[in-house]
Structure 1
């Protein structure tokens, strides 16, 4: 009974924390443009600060966790600090101050996902629970938040609500942490040793590049999809509906992801998810109607809902057992950090010099290159590993 209770509280944490993320990130670019008057290049710089800070700060949160052996306490600090800082952000003015403000929020927000993933992965493996059944509640929370906040901002005429709901979501997530496991798995090798070992694994490194090219555009889309919806004639409520369909469709696919992976193989699922993303971005390049855009949002379930769990499994299989924790951390830094930052900045730049459709054309080409690299990974893997991932 205690295990089941903890399991439900972990699911609730993902719901509320991703509710906060869903309230903020999809409409952040619209907020910076309409309420703060920034150019798209400036918007790209502000938004890119989130993943750039993540690259450098996430390892520090990890080292603090390893040193203190108190990841749950650190998670409380990260969530409460980000929640409090979010309340003050709408009052900021001028580009340099807005950039600095989002960077400070990112310092604490960057610790939430890796610390919670470390605890939840450790718990799910120890008690034979599926991580996908935990992570899907994040997709549900994200989807519901965008839908609600889209309606609220349109009714009130104020986009500042995105920060208030962000803070509320993280505040509620704090309540669930009291039932979280106190510790994650012990670290068996140092980060430097693990990194040295992984740099010798060519298939693993090549998949990191693929993940950079495929997952970077997926994350950048979270920031610019609202702008795209408004460009094709949608409304703020329409943005909420689109994200409800997109993020909400991830949950059922995450629920059955392990069954599909077991049936088709990890590599096939990774390629399928990547191909759906590439096709979706290519469609957006050709300026589809609002109706078509809404209909294609559910493709995100097939792409993201299957790609995330399959990619995580592939990373673990490509890395030697003794450095898997380091491998997951490096994978997160490259995709969620470097890839997110690069494509977010490039997205804002391309919207300014070209248009939002051109940005999606660029995303599609990069994703296609990422698919080719996965095929090379499959060819380069050792026979015993290939048997596990094919």
Structure 2
């Protein structure tokens, strides 16, 4: 089990050390807010497009380990080269390869981990911890060694991830191959599921937008990069206890209640970011990330399992994840334009409106159920 824990810790350490600081890095190399929005949006679109393609290649070849190594190598190369290319087109190409690799590696890692006899939740927790530690260490690196130093830290961490992957005994679980033909038409006419896909676009879209622009926002309201790293560390670490208590909460109140509570917490969170934009206030709201993101990811797959047919579950979850990427593409582009025209604070007003809409949809879904 230790080798899988190391896989999640090192991979998500790489993300925490790199992804959160890219928007601030783009500013230092004179890429405008509109251009940043275009970079993030195109990257999200390509990631959404490549996820099912890579899943198909993996299923056909059964070469999960080799694919993971190649993807991790792409992450290493893009982070290393990004420090030496300052043009908009160059950064667009490198970021696109980076985000495709990152968002394709996530589900493939989950597939490998789920093929073992170990409890997936206990392994996945170390991903949140790794992300938190990576963000904290990267913030300190930037303070000590300069704006672009986080790219080298992320590249080094990706090398460690590759070494861990080499040591993993990969076994592909084929238990679900005979679940029956996927009835895509029936899935896409399931009103409760379609509503939840839209909720995913709004919820995960704003979360992706936040991950892309939080560094710019925090700097704009007077926060330091070292403090940013500490806050992100606390925010990400706060997901762990909420993921831990989610099974009891789901058993007591139901998975629909837990998901709705997560959306409500996210609505309040973005409202606070917009209305009370001070570093001390933002630092004090770190638990809202655990309550929103932690509970949402703990309940989303279970919620989908409850509202779709068993033989469409895999397809349903893939569409759900792709919807989040599509929402991220839209939110990241619009947010870049908002930053360029009005400032980073206003993107959280935009986020608040989107997630409040998701909250309304969750109550509408409850009426459909009743």
Q: TM-score, normalised by structure 1?
A: 0.89
C-alpha RMSD of matched pairs (Å):
2.0
Counterpart selection for 1:160 from 148, 152, 156: 148
Cα distance in 1 between the residues matched to 2:138 and 2:169: 28
Gaps of 5+ in 1: 1-6, 384-390
Partner of 1:281: 270
SS in structure 1 at match of 2:83 = helix
* Residues 1:319 and 2:308 are matched in the alignment: yes
Partner of 2:17: 23
Partner of 1:387: none
Map 1:196-215 onto structure 2 (within 5 A). Answer: 196-215=185-204
SS in structure 2 at match of 1:306 = helix
Counterpart selection for 1:53 from 16, 39, 46: 46
Residues 19 and 323 (structure 1), Cα distance of their counterparts in 2 relative to 1, 3 Å cut:
same
SS in structure 2 at match of 1:91 = coil
Map 1:77-92 onto structure 2 (within 5 A). Answer: 77-92=70-85
* Residues 1:185 and 2:144 are matched in the alignment: no
- Residue 273 of structure 1 deviates from its aligned partner by 0.9
Partner of 2:246: 257
* Residues 1:353 and 2:328 are matched in the alignment: no
Map 1:82-161 onto structure 2 (within 5 A). Answer: 82-123=75-116, 127=117, 129=119, 131-157=120-146, 159-161=147-149
Cα distance in 1 between the residues matched to 2:310 and 2:302: 12
Residues 73 and 378 (structure 1), Cα distance of their counterparts in 2 relative to 1, 3 Å cut:
farther
Gaps of 5+ in 2: none
Counterpart selection for 2:319 from 330, 333, 354: 330
Residues 9 and 98 (structure 1), Cα distance of their counterparts in 2 relative to 1, 3 Å cut:
same
Cα distance in 2 between the residues matched to 1:354 and 1:192: 50
Partner of 1:3: none
- The 10-residue stretch of structure 1 (40-49 or 179-188) with the greater mean CA deviation from structure 2: 179-188
Partner of 1:4: none
SS in structure 1 at match of 2:78 = helix
Partner of 1:293: 282
Q: TM-score, normalised by structure 2?
A: 0.94
- The 10-residue stretch of structure 1 (159-168 or 88-97) with the greater mean CA deviation from structure 2: 159-168
- Residue 372 of structure 1 deviates from its aligned partner by 1.4
Cα distance in 1 between the residues matched to 2:283 and 2:257: 27
- Residue 351 of structure 1 deviates from its aligned partner by 1.2
- The 10-residue stretch of structure 1 (137-146 or 74-83) with the greater mean CA deviation from structure 2: 74-83
- Residue 193 of structure 1 deviates from its aligned partner by 4.1
- Residue 287 of structure 1 deviates from its aligned partner by 3.5
Cα distance in 2 between the residues matched to 1:190 and 1:41: 46
**8 A contact 1:24–1:162 mirrored in 2:** yes
Residues 173 and 184 (structure 1), Cα distance of their counterparts in 2 relative to 1, 3 Å cut:
farther
SS in structure 2 at match of 1:141 = helix
- Residue 84 of structure 1 deviates from its aligned partner by 2.6
Cα distance in 2 between the residues matched to 1:332 and 1:114: 9
Map 1:216-295 onto structure 2 (within 5 A). Answer: 216-295=205-284
Cα distance in 2 between the residues matched to 1:359 and 1:15: 30
**8 A contact 1:122–1:184 mirrored in 2:** yes
Residues 128 and 154 (structure 1), Cα distance of their counterparts in 2 relative to 1, 3 Å cut:
closer
- Residue 120 of structure 1 deviates from its aligned partner by 2.0
Aligned residues: 369
